[in-house]
Chain A
């Protein structure tokens, strides 16, 4: 069987990645590795971030004021940079969720028509 290649534009890719990161950070502060693992776990491995895809996006979101990173030194633990959802990120998350819900509804309708 021929492999199906789904080509998703960079805007959609970035938008979905931003939604994933903001969503996991809405549950509480996490460091970069935890963010990647949390997304992987919650999507049952369908969405995976590696170092190269995660950090540029985190830095971009931090620059926009959506997340805030702070170094923390837990006693006896490793020094890590934890990210928290900033107020601007919380505000961004609401419309982003709505946009993606609408996007998937539209795709569902389209798929329904195609398969009818």
Chain B
């Protein structure tokens, strides 16, 4: 009789379900193949036929591995993504926008306004910019605490600015198509300045704050979340 446990382990693992769960799954599936094999032998099939029959109950081991991982992690993946990315991202976005609105009220200290060519102006809310490292740190910290990997932490820290940058670029592209009155060179200067002021600089400051929380037990915490 073949060593079904060894066969299953060889073809099915590694599974991203945690070590104990993996051993349980291997033992259970091996037990099933064992029962099937013995059933076939009891019905009068030769051992070779019985082994072939039992083996044929899994046509594609890679597909079975994928299905089992999806089933075992159902709900966990979504919850993990929500906890490690979206919740920290939403918190930092809300805090950042709240602070920006506070610095925009009439009696707040005036922002710096840089006048550029052709009447373009870049408004710099420098107090808001100074807060961004703290906000980035908060996002990355919350993501790390929830078991977020490096990419989750980076995105959680900078989600709203990335969103804002996408909107700016999209607006620029739509403007190119719909409005021909403004020269292209002026548009390019405009988008470059706005990207620098509202995209690159805030993003840099957010990630600067997030930096201490980008290191650490990313793989370990991801494994914990996957094995829950």
Chain A residues in contact with chain B, CB under 8 A?
31-33, 36, 50-52, 54-57, 59-60, 63-64, 71, 78-81
Contact = CB atoms under 8 A, between A and B. Distances in A.
B64 A64 contact: no
Nearest to A32: B32
Nearest to A36: B32
B28 A55 contact: yes
B68 interface: yes
B37 to A, nearest CB: 11
Nearest to B58: A52
A60 B32 CA distance: 18
Secondary structure call for the B interface: helix
Given A33-B31, A55-B68, A50 B24 contact: no
Given A56-B64, A56-B67, A51 B33 contact: yes
7 contacts: A32-B32, A33-B35, A52-B63, A55-B32, A55-B68, A59-B71, A63-B74
Contacts of A71: 24
Given A33-B36, A56-B67, A60-B71, A50 B57 contact: yes
B31 A56 contact: no
Contacts of A54: 32
Interface in B55-88: 57-60, 63-64, 67-68, 70-72, 74-75
